[in-house]
Amino acid sequence: MTIGEAAAASGVSAKMIRYYEEIGLVAPAGRTAAGYRMYGAHDVHTLRFVRRARDLGFGVEQIGSLLALWHDRARASADVRRVAVDQIGQLRRRIDELQAMVRTLEHLADHCHGDARPDCPILDDLADPPADASPPPDARFGHGARRNPKEHA
């Protein structure tokens, strides 16, 4: 099947398939004489695996580890469990960061008059945060940034 068909069958965009091939996360597809990528059922299965791992918040490095474990029939399930448990910890930290952001924004919104006056505690905080403000969250959440913009495309 073509890259478009593989994308539709796997739920991974063609752009992301090319990116995953480029970084070596998935094996490059076979090519026709004209240079078109061609995918088989095994490729689509692998792409679905990657998609599901992304849906669970795993990063590219972690997915590479999971793919290696998936292909290693001699693996210990403890190794797979360790990757999952590490991910749970990371997700919990991200949840805590997001909840702190919500609390801060709720506080700021509660103190904003929301009327025609120009003074606004929300903009004041953004321009000059208080000294006791919590440190900014990591780059995954700052200004809508992602670890890699291509990861979620």
Q: Is 30 helix (H, G, I), strand (E, B) or coil?
A: strand
**Using the 8-state DSSP alphabet, how is residue 50 labeled?**
H
pLDDT at position 132 is 76
Q: Where are the domains of the chain?
A: 3-57, 77-152
For 69-126, the pLDDT digits (tens) are: 999 999 999 999 999 999 999 999 999 999 999 999 999 999 999 899 899 999 999 9
Q: Compute and round to an integer the Cα radius of gyration of the chain.
A: 22
pTM of the complete model: 0.76
For the ranges 3-7, 63-67, 97-101, 137-141, the lowest mean pLDDT is seen at 137-141
Higher model confidence: residue 146 or residue 75?
Answer: 75
**Using the 8-state DSSP alphabet, how is residue 151 labeled?**
G
pLDDT at position 133 is 72
Angstrom distances, CA of residue 144 to CA of 91, 136, 137: 17, 13, 11
HSE-CB of 129 using CA atoms within 13 angstroms: 9
CATH topology of domain 3-57: Multidrug-efflux Transporter Regulator; Chain: A; Domain 2 (1.10.1660)
For 42-80, the pLDDT digits (tens) are: 999 999 999 999 999 999 999 999 999 999 999 999 999
Angstrom distances, CA of residue 75 to CA of 69, 70, 108, 153: 6, 8, 50, 32
Q: How confident is the model at residue 137 (pLDDT cuts 50, 70, 90)?
A: low
| 105, 125 Cβ separation under 8 angstroms | no
pLDDT at position 129 is 86
- Residue located via tokens 């026709």: 32
pLDDT at position 136 is 57
Closest by Cα among 20, 28, 23, 78 to 54: 20
Q: Is the pLDDT reported for residue 13 higher than 60?
A: yes
